[in-house]
Homo-oligomer: A and B are copies of this chain.
Amino acid sequence: MDIEFTLEQIAQLVSASAVEGQAGQTVSSIASLSQAGPGDLSFLGNKKYTPEVAGCRASVVLLPPDYEGTPTEGQAFVRVENPSLALAALCTEIERRLHPVPVAGIHPSAVVADTAEVDATATVGPQCVIEAGSKVGPGTVLAAQVYIGRDAVVGENCMLRPHATVGDRCVLGARVTLHAGVVVGSDGFGYETVNGVHQKVPQIGNVVIEDDVEIGANSTIDRARFSSTRIGQGTKIDNLVQIAHNVETGKGCIIVAQTGIGGSTTLEDYVILAGQTGIAGHLRLSQGTILAAQSGLHNNTKPGDRLFGTPAIEAKLAYKTDVLKKRLPELFKRVAKLEEDMKGNA
């Protein structure tokens, strides 16, 4: 990565409680315990990998206080309270060096309507399009080829990656990240079928994305039929997720890749939807609901529910019945045997 750190710099960046040994060289990359070699930094982020530390060849290893062992020749142990958080601190510094601060201003190839207001500290990259009446806030970066529709609002310090689309009248808060190809404000999917013709139900609402939301690549968030589809503060959405019209999520929800949420469903705070889950429309998911991967939910949930399966049921019951389902061939045989025996007894 063309980025070098001395042992002393690392110790300082991660607020080390102690340093043992001497790194034989500066560190220029990060690797897992099993793959690291000289010049790498590694870390013990998960107790299950503890046995791998002894054979690790990294120049520097971030370790919790209670790890028992000593560094090899040319290796340093850096003690920290939480190696994962320490690594994150280090990576934040690397990220800062890797990504130069974008220069404020509007690239000459961008097309910005006269009535759009772009803050002087914002960056509008090449080939972006900003339609009439829209606002782009301070410190916000539109990387390149981004589209901002009419009368839309993008708040401060947002990051919109290439090919992101923000539809007409949609509103983004502060520190929102849209990854490449995200579509905010596509029409909701609604038709009234009259004499075999699917007549479009106009979708005149918008999408409101609150502060600190991050949305993964190529995910789609439909505008409301009327009023707003709303993504709550601090909610994190992975790639290729579909959010239908009039969905509302609470604060701090986690929505993993390829999940789909049907129209008008509400997620309360801190709901977790694992990958490829599907949620029917017009439901209410209570606070802290956790839905396991590939589940399909057709009912409201209670606070703290852990659910699995299609249709989703209480996760513990689902795991148990999945085990028993595998034993169906045996069960059918046992019942046939009982019937035989019963006949014999009769």
User: What is A's interface to B at a CB cutoff of 8 Å?
Assistant: 1, 29-32, 35, 84-85, 88, 91-92, 94-95, 98-99, 107, 109, 111, 125-127, 129, 131, 143-145, 147, 161-163, 165, 167-169, 177, 179-181, 183, 186-187, 189, 191-192, 194, 196-202, 204, 214, 216-218, 220, 222, 225-227, 234, 236, 238-240, 242, 244, 252, 254, 256-258, 260, 262, 270, 275-276, 278, 280, 293-294, 296, 309-311, 313, 317, 320-322, 324-329, 331-332, 334-335, 338-339, 341-342, 345-346
Contact = CB atoms under 8 A, between A and B. Distances in A.
13 contacts: A88-B201, A94-B202, A98-B204, A161-B165, A163-B181, A180-B183, A186-B217, A189-B256, A189-B257, A191-B236, A239-B242, A276-B296, A320-B329
Copies of this chain, tallied across the complex: 3
A198 B189 CA distance: 31
Given A147-B144, A254-B198, A227 B29 contact: yes
A294 B296 contact: yes
Contacts of A317: 326, 329
Contact of A147 (B162, B214, B236): B162
A307 to B, nearest CB: 13
A35 B325 CA distance: 45
Given A162-B147, A326-B321, A338-B335, A197 B238 contact: no
